[in-house]
Each structure stands twice: as structure tokens, then as C-alpha cells.
Amino acid sequence: MGTPSLLDRLLNGLDSASRRLYVAASRTIARRATTTTTTMETLEQIKPTMAEIDPRIPDALRVAFRLGGHRLSSPGANDNEGFASFVAAVLPAPPVPDCPAVVPAPRAARALRLDVGSCYLPHHDHDSHFGASDFGVLGVADGVGGYSERGVDAGAFSRGLMTSAFAAVVSAPPGAPVCPYTLLELAYEETAASAAPGASTAVILSLAPAADAEESPRLRWAYIGDSGFAVLRRGKILRRSRPQQSRFNCPYQLNSTGNGDRVTAAETGEVPVEEGDVVVAGTDGLFDNMFDEELERVVRMGAALGLPAKNMADVIAGVAYEMSRNRARDSPFSVESRRHHRADRWSGGKEDDITVVVAFVALSY
């Protein structure tokens, strides 16, 4: 007997009523998406309760990831065709041939923009973020929680970084390219000069226009520590940051006292992007609880349902939240704990602040 396919595993143990839930959920979410305005919380971060986030998680995701905490919708009838389309959306994306049969003729590079949306689910309230769609820049920072044990506001440095970065972005001349490393350096210098307490990880990303007609626009980044990002194309991760750590669960971090890591330790780079790519940035509250293939699956599902960036961020954060409180399943954090042979090996998810910023790469107006 051959190895079960992903479809077999997805449907394993589900009765016909559960199958119909996929379609009922997809139709409901699709209708909701058409009436939702995409907005971006900048410095005034949203702090939705799980009661607000819970209804935004499609029932289909709950069945597929075996999540609880929500009464599933009543299924409809005659949903076989819709269910087949929905399942196809969450299956792995087909591979793209290395050598296409027809090579398209070169065309002039088209201007792109970032449509940005975010969701923040506080636990300790040490995260901060910003997004500026008009400037094609976004950032996420995570205050180091250990400082709170010293009676220090562990979120102060992360808020300082993002406040300074956002202020610099919106004061730049329109159309001026933004270098993420330079922006991170500037934000660090201003925050350190203010003597803000605590320490923070951070990631900043920006969209750079094509240099000429033969090139594609590029997504540029600079990050320090375990705040990170993933770039997805057609539902598969194209580029993924890897956490910088001094040791397990001790990320690189910036602080005001000079005994932290230097900005020069930041990882920098860039990747060409195209219309339809999805960028997901977040703190470790996201990436400690969701495996790469799970993130791919949620993004494919959100794309199939036509969710705007804001709703996509809500769903990703909501799923990560429920996974963080699930002790019956492995998480990236628990796997890493075992890999480092920790005496206090972690089991299940890891409760933490969860910040998710989603940016759709789209054609400029």
C-alpha cells in the first residue's frame, strides 16, 4: 500500500458533514472579505481579544489543523464541487518548471506596491510594529521579556525602535527608496540615545523599485534576532529568515547599555518579487508556534478565499494563538528544545505576544 497523499491525510477521520464545513466556511469568509476594509495599524496597535479574533478563523482551518474553541458553522448541501476546489487550494502548490516550454519576451518592469495589514495579540505586551503602505515599508520588534523580571518595562525598547523608524519613513521625500539597514541603524541610535530601558529584536523590510526595465522590484530586509519574515510565491515559501541566537531561546538583541549586540550584526539581503507574492513578518510568537508548511497552508487557504491583507493577518495570528495554547501537538519551539537536549524540554506550543504583518505585492495604481 502506497504512502497516503496529503489529501488522504487531510480528510482522514472526517465525515461528510465535516467535509461540508470547509465549503460553508469558505463561502462565509469570502462574503465577509468583500465587505472588509483593509487597514493598517501603525503606532496605535490593535489589541483584539480572542473573542474578536475567533470568528475570523475559517472553520476549514479548524478542521484541517484540529483546532478547538469555536462552534463550527452548520454545513450546507450539495457542496462536493466547492469542497474539491477548496481542498485543491490547500494542497501543496505544483512545482514550477525550471525550463518553461515557452520563454516570454522581455517586458518593461511594472511598478509594484505593498498592501499591508496587521494583527497584534498581546500576552506580555512587549511587541511593537508599524506599516506604511504608501512608502512600501514595514517593521516588527519584540522586547526581551527577561527585563520585566528586573522591574523594567520590557516593551519600551521595541516601541522606541518602531516609533523612530516609522517617523523617519513618513518624513522621507515621496518615492525615496528606504534602506532597511540604514533605517534600523537610525532607529537604534535614536532609541539608545533616549535611554529607553530593555532590549529588543527587530526586522524591517522595504520594497525597492526596479533599477531598469530588465530587472524586477526587490524586497530588501535587515533583521536582528528572531523577529523574522517569509516571502511566499504561489503558496510556497520563496525566502525565509533564520533566527540569530547566541544560544537556544536567547536571540541577538539591541539595547541602550552597550552590552547587547551591535546593529552591524544584523542580517541583510534582498530578493526579486513579483505581483501576487505574499510577505509575512512576525515576532517569535508566530514562528515559534507555526511550522513553515503550516504557514504555507494558511496562506494558500486565505488566498483561495480572497482575503485581504488585514484578514489574512488576523487568521494567521489567530491560528498561531490557538497553536500556542495546544499542549498536544509539536511546535517549532518544542522541536528545537529537544534538539538542544534541554533538561526542561518543552511540550506543545509557547504562549507569547503574537504580531503578524502581512503585505501583498500588487501593481501600483
pLDDT confidence of residue 169 = 96
pLDDT confidence of residue 258 = 82
In a domain, 101, yes or no: no
- pLDDT values of the chain reduced to their tens digit, one per residue, 365 residues: 454 433 343 334 334 444 444 444 444 434 443 333 333 444 444 444 445 555 555 565 665 665 555 544 444 444 445 544 555 555 555 554 444 444 444 445 679 999 999 999 999 999 999 999 999 999 999 999 989 888 899 999 999 999 999 999 999 987 789 999 999 999 999 999 999 999 999 999 999 999 887 889 999 999 999 999 999 999 999 999 999 999 988 999 999 988 889 999 999 999 999 999 999 999 999 999 999 999 999 999 999 889 999 999 999 999 999 999 998 889 999 998 888 765 566 678 999 999 999 999 999 97
The domain of 76 spans 6-39+57-90
> For helices 180-193 and 156-170, what crossing angle results, to 10°?
130
Q: Are residues 24 and 159 in the same domain?
A: no
In a domain, 100, yes or no: no
Number of Cβ within a 10 Å radius of residue 158: 31
pTM: 0.78
pLDDT confidence of residue 249 = 87
**Contacts for 164 with CB less than 8 Å, ≥ 6 apart:** 186, 187, 190, 191
pLDDT confidence of residue 56 = 54
Q: Are residues 212 and 332 in the same domain?
A: yes
pLDDT confidence of residue 140 = 98
- Three cell numbers, residue 285: 510568537
Helix (H) or strand (E) holding 160: helix 156-170
Q: Are residues 23 and 148 in the same domain?
A: no
State the first-to-last Cα distance of the chain, in angstroms, to the nearest integer: 53
Are 30 and 315 in contact, with CB atoms under 8 Å apart? no
Distance between CA atoms of 48 and 149, rounded to whole angstroms?
26
Q: Can you say whether the dihedral through the CA atoms of 77, 8, 234, 183 is positive or negative?
A: positive
pLDDT confidence of residue 4 = 43
Domain count of the fold of the chain: 2
In a domain, 47, yes or no: no
CATH number of the domain encompassing residue 334? 3.60.40.10
Which residues are paired to 267 by β-bridges? Answer: 223
